[in-house]
A and B are shown apart, each in its own frame.
Chain A
Amino acid sequence: MTDEKGSVSLSGAGAVAGGSYSKVSISGAGRVNGDLVAEELTMSGAGKVNGRCEVVRLRVSGTGRFDGTVTADEMKVSGVARVEGDANAKELKCSGTFRASGNISSEYIKVSGSIAVGGDVEAEIFRASGGFDVGGLLSADRIEVHPGGRCRAREIGGARIDIRHHGPERSSLLDNILRALRTTLGGEVDAGTIEGDEIYLESTRADIVRGKEIHIGPGCKIGLVEYTESLSVDEEAEVTEQRKV
């Protein structure tokens, strides 16, 4: 129980066997062969873990590839990370690019870069100002999106869903230019189904939106809206069919 765990730092090209470590740092081109358990894993070069990875803190500022499930308390990606499998992190912050072929589950997810997930994304709070591509269901208690790229999910579901461009309070020239850029660069959300209790949408395309209190804002194109309590539709929005159920 009391044995000291070693730390390892790979700064040239090298490989280290899997196992249990205190800190692992890869700044050159490094590989971990086998399952890794560590307090901290930092990848600022090109790193690869050939196995499952269970760490407390994970930072990828270079490129990181993971062959199996990644579990972390805190995961920060400012470079490029790619997981072949599921990723579980209490807190996931991505300002770079993050890809996972399986599911992501987390308590708090913040995306200012982009994430692409083959399966589902589950969180308590999901905040995105970048882009995302979710193959399955994006589900969180609170979903807040300021689309800053291509945002796509097959399904979005949660208690409160809020999709809007940054508020118009500071309407400076720069803001206007940025907004114009964003819309031309596809700062839009595209989803099959969106379901929630309170839904506020801007610049969103969806086949179906279902909920209790719904506001459809400017730039939306919705096939069918089903609501139980209230619905308001902006004049710059397009709703093909609406139904109170």
Chain B
Amino acid sequence: MGDDQYISKKDVLEAMGISYGQLYRWKRKGLIPETWFIRRSTFTGQETFFPREKIVARIQRIKDMKDEHALDDLAEVITERVNVKLQVAFDKLKDLGWFDEQLMETCCERAVAEHTLSIRDAFCMASLKRMSRAARPEEVDLLSRTLNEALSKKRLDLTALEGKHLFLMRKQLSGVGISAEISVVAIGTEDLVLDPETVRVDSMDLAAMLQQVKLDLARQGVEAPETEPTAGAEGKKEDA
């Protein structure tokens, strides 16, 4: 653990000019993830440390959202509890970098039908958008199916993405006179070991992506879902 990477709780409070009350309140609201609180023994006893860059950026962001309502919105979007149900009208998302109607059609048909987007749809879309930088169209489809299947079969849980990465790989097969290339998609940890003939084309951190999506949604001023008189609201009740 290089000490530059971590900052003690005391130093965070001092550097950011916040109080214990605020820090604990934000933690309770889920604005600061549990996993960022790292307890370590020091010569003065137990101390809590944070990943320096992440915590500083997050607190700055929270401080920028001065009024409490914005903060509650942010909390609502960031906390895992509620956001599964979150539905967002499309027109609010047009400006986001990862919003792509074409991709949406491939990855979330339900969303298109209802004109609303759940956090899961948004996450899938953003992930595919990011991967499509390197992936070919048929690979995007493969990625989409992998993500959706993993999510619907609960092999992948939006609340437990920490450390999980999405990989796109290609492998050359060559025999006598012919050669072919196959695409492989996997979800695993960063240290995934592959055979030497398989090339990692692209990979991304799923937890970071989800965080980004949530923050983007928060910034777009995604209000409480019930204020949106869309077809989505009714659809939600039915499956409740």
Q: Do A and B bind each other?
A: yes
> In the complex, A210 Cα to B9 Cα: how many Å?
11
Known: A197-B19, A210-B20. A139 touches B45 (CB 8 A): no
Does B25 have its Cβ within 8 Å of any Cβ on chain A? Answer: yes
> In the complex, A207 Cα to B21 Cα: how many Å?
20
Q: Count the A residues whose beta carbon is within 8 Å of the partner chain — how many?
A: 24
Does A122 have its Cβ within 8 Å of any Cβ on chain B? Answer: yes
Q: Are A157 and B10 in contact (CB under 8 A)?
A: no
Q: Per DSSP, are chain B's interface residues mostly helix, strand or loop, or mixed?
A: helix
The count of A-to-B residue pairs whose CB atoms sit within 8 angstroms is 50
Q: Are B25 and A141 in contact (CB under 8 A)?
A: yes
A197 contact from B9, B21, B45, B237, Cβ within 8 A = B21
Query: CB-defined interface of A188-231 with B at 8 Å, one 1/0 digit per residue?
Result: 00001101110000000001101110000000000110100000
Chain B interface residues (CB < 8 Å from chain A) = 9-10, 19-25, 27-28, 44-46, 237
Tell me the nearest residue of chain A to B81, going by C-beta: A88
Residues of A within 8 Å of B25, CB to CB, are 141, 159
Q: Are B45 and A207 in contact (CB under 8 A)?
A: yes
Residues of A within 8 Å of B19, CB to CB, are 159, 197, 212
Q: Are B21 and A196 in contact (CB under 8 A)?
A: yes
Tell me the nearest residue of chain B to A198, going by C-beta: B21
Tell me the nearest residue of chain A to B39, going by C-beta: A155
Known: A122-B28, A159-B25. A211 touches B45 (CB 8 A): no
Residues of B within 8 Å of A195, CB to CB, are 9, 20, 24
Q: Are B20 and A157 in contact (CB under 8 A)?
A: yes
Q: List 10 A-B contacts (CB under 8 A).
A: A139-B28, A157-B24, A158-B20, A158-B21, A159-B19, A159-B22, A192-B45, A192-B46, A195-B9, A197-B20
Q: Are A158 and B44 in contact (CB under 8 A)?
A: no
Does A93 have its Cβ within 8 Å of any Cβ on chain B? Answer: no
Does A1 have its Cβ within 8 Å of any Cβ on chain B? Answer: yes
> In the complex, A1 Cα to B233 Cα: how many Å?
14
Does A160 have its Cβ within 8 Å of any Cβ on chain B? Answer: yes
Tell me the nearest residue of chain B to A105, going by C-beta: B28
Query: CB-defined interface of A127-169 with B at 8 Å, one 1/0 digit per residue?
Result: 0000000000001110000000000000001111000000000
B45 contact from A105, A160, A212, A224, Cβ within 8 A = A224
Residues of B within 8 Å of A196, CB to CB, are 20-21
Does A245 have its Cβ within 8 Å of any Cβ on chain B? Answer: yes
Q: Are B45 and A141 in contact (CB under 8 A)?
A: no
B46 contact from A1, A140, A159, A207, Cβ within 8 A = A207
> In the complex, A193 Cα to B42 Cα: how many Å?
13
Listed residue (B9, B25, B28, B237) with the most chain A CB atoms within 10 angstroms of its CB: B28
